[in-house]
Structure 1
Amino acid sequence: MSEQHNVSSIDARRTGKPRLRPAGRRPSGPIWNWRVAARCRTDDADALFVTGADQRRARAFCYACPVRTECLAHALDQRIEFGVWGGMTERDRRAVLRRRPEVTDWAGLLGRARSDHYAGRRRGA
């Protein structure tokens, strides 16, 4: 079975540290636009690639991020193996992927779930 990797996963496996692309070199298009608003964009990204108790701090940092859902969807769609993405550790994401192997578009699924949630709140449900 072939594995899908993003640049960060490949570099993290090889060097032990993720390589984050400079802002000017990121791919363009709507799927990447969420990164501009990411809370971690201006902080030390190494703080999200930690183990043990430090992961709790990284997850807490993510919870206040305005694009947490997009970040998580990206990590799930790309099968990113390392770091905290969208408030979930690699272990959390593996568990989600095992529970829902039929999902092939996490960005679509999570986006629809969020829209449905907010539509219900507007109706007073």
Structure 2
Amino acid sequence: MQNNFDGLKVMVIDDSKTIRRTAETLLQKAGCEVVTAIDGFDALAKIVDHNPDIIFVDIMMPRLDGYQTCALIKNNPDYASKPVIMLSSKDGLFDKARGRIVGSDEYLTKPFSKDELFEAINKYR
């Protein structure tokens, strides 16, 4: 599997600094350009500015949760085709189903491994 993502723009939306930093480090080492956001509102402003190729979004966030953020991204015709991958510490069927309903393309359970992160990117880029 090729993990050279030179020039790929990835957005990581998570209210956890640890998760953002971990994902950012792994992705930058693989050649990605990474944009991070602390919540859905922050992300929506940055999506317009940076136009990421792929978006990872945490479900449990204050103000605007991952489901709402994903729905807003997918309801915008300019960004509807962007792959959105949900991140959650819960591995429940209900959460996965709800993620599908709002249009998410994939679901990763935290803590995710480097391989899982790269596999998800390879699938959608």
Shared fold (TM-score, shorter chain, > 0.5): no
TM-score, normalised with respect to structure 1:
0.29
- The structure with the greater share of residues assigned to strand is 2
Larger Rg: 1
TM-score, normalised with respect to structure 2:
0.29
- The structure with the greater share of residues assigned to helix is 1
